Amino acid sequence: MTDVSDKRSGVAARSGIDPSLFYNPTARAIFYQAALLIAVALLFWWLQSNAAANMAAQGRTTGFGFLFQTAGFNIGFSLIPFNRSSTYLDVYIVGILNTLLVAVVGIVLATILGFIIGVARLSPNFLIRKLAMVYVEVVRNMPLLLQLLFWYFLALNAMPAVRQSYEFPLGVVLNQRGLYLPLLQSDQRFLILLGIFVVAVIIALVWRHRRVRRMEEKGERLPVLLPLLGIILVPTVLAYFALQVPIAFSVPELTGFNYTGGFVVPPELTALVIGLVVYTAAFIGEIVRAGIQAVNYGQVEAAASLGLKDGDRLRLVIIPQAMRIIIPPLTSQYLNLTKNSSLGAAIAFPELVNVFMGTAINQSGRAVEIVALTMAVYLTFSLTTSLFMNWYNSRVALVER
């Protein structure tokens, strides 16, 4: 062993390298990581060169100039104006917005339903506990694609025809063609009012955080709710009257064989959201159940000894401590829901994969560019969600003394 070490030291000395670097774990780790990074870069370079050579042999060029060409097709559901004369860039934006809509709505609803299921799994009521258990076991063990198809065909077949539509208060209409909702109509002044409202909400939340911290530090009991509402409502109401913001609603009305006006939620969107929420909530429920059970039972007994009711114990003692365990796996479920939204292509919902990687790629033939742009979107969504959840996890993490 000594001879081998002497030989290595001699080689290192002749090459002008400090022999101690061979035995430094930090130096070796940096070397291995640099070597891996170079290997990955070379792999991507080879893939890019190979793809470019094959495309050149076929007489095809690469580039993103096609994004400004006319798409020539319609999209059934869009949050922005879109028609046949729109460009492929508009198709890209429509797909991103539709995917983002499904992800945001799905995450909010799945979180609410998942927490309810998780708490119900630990309910002292036998019936509620067993129903929650059956829900979790059934939903988790069925393929998501099968569930989406079930909700889609159920939404189509169970809803009435246009002439027999269900009409609800406030102008809400439901039939086989979708859910019709009243649509707010205004002008640019409404956007200014909305910006003022958002700023007021942010200021109110910052003020509430400082007020609660002051009460915890000094033991004072100060009013919170009424001043909070005042910070939000006073500037918003004053801005509304000062700007004279026009506000009107377009209500769905039956015209001929269909309803016109309002905002239409297509059955494909409804089925996709319901399927993702029901499926993801089953996993979130188990995460919540595990997080609650991980809290030391002594904490529950201490809260009970203070006279706290069951709801107060759960809200003030158990859930805040369980969140430190719940957040990391909950992040994975949020990422899964966002990526699973691509299954909307199976039920013809125009999300990113359907309209951009499906229709647009067939129309333009730009497979490499479109796949790269689609991957960049999902990567951005995932990294943004992870960064936010990691930040929130650091806020609720237990600080060791």
pLDDT, tens digit (0-9, with 9 covering 90-100), for 273-306: 999 999 999 999 999 999 988 888 888 778 778 7
Given pLDDT bands bounded at 50, 70 and 90, which one contains residue 398?
low
> Within a 10 A sphere around the Cβ of 275, how many other Cβ atoms?
25
Amino acid 136: pLDDT: 94
Cβ neighbours of residue 135 under 8 Å, at least 6 residues apart? 117, 282, 285
Does position 68 have pLDDT exceeding 70, yes or no?
yes
Does position 133 have pLDDT exceeding 90, yes or no?
yes
Does position 10 have pLDDT exceeding 70, yes or no?
no
Amino acid 399: pLDDT: 56
Cβ neighbours of residue 183 under 8 Å, at least 6 residues apart? 249, 250, 261, 262, 263
Distance CA(360)–CA(4), nearest Å, equals 62
Amino acid 21: pLDDT: 64
Q: Return the higher-pLDDT residue of 366 and 376.
A: 376
- pLDDT (average), residues 121-130: 90
Whole-model pTM above 0.75? yes
Does position 210 have pLDDT exceeding 90, yes or no?
no
Amino acid 97: pLDDT: 94
Q: Mean pLDDT in the chain?
A: 86
Q: b/e per residue, 312-351, with b = 16+ CB within 10 A?
A: ebbeebbbebbbebbbeebbebbbbbbebbbbbbbbbbbb
Amino acid 227: pLDDT: 87
Which tens digits make up the pLDDT trace of 169-197?
Answer: 888 888 888 888 888 888 888 899 999 99
CA 132 to chain centre: 24
Q: What percent of the chain has pLDDT over 90?
A: 39
Q: Return the higher-pLDDT residue of 99 and 166.
A: 99
Amino acid 26: pLDDT: 81
Given pLDDT bands bounded at 50, 70 and 90, which one contains residue 16?
low
- And the tokens for 259? 């309803």
Q: What percent of the chain has pLDDT over 70?
A: 93
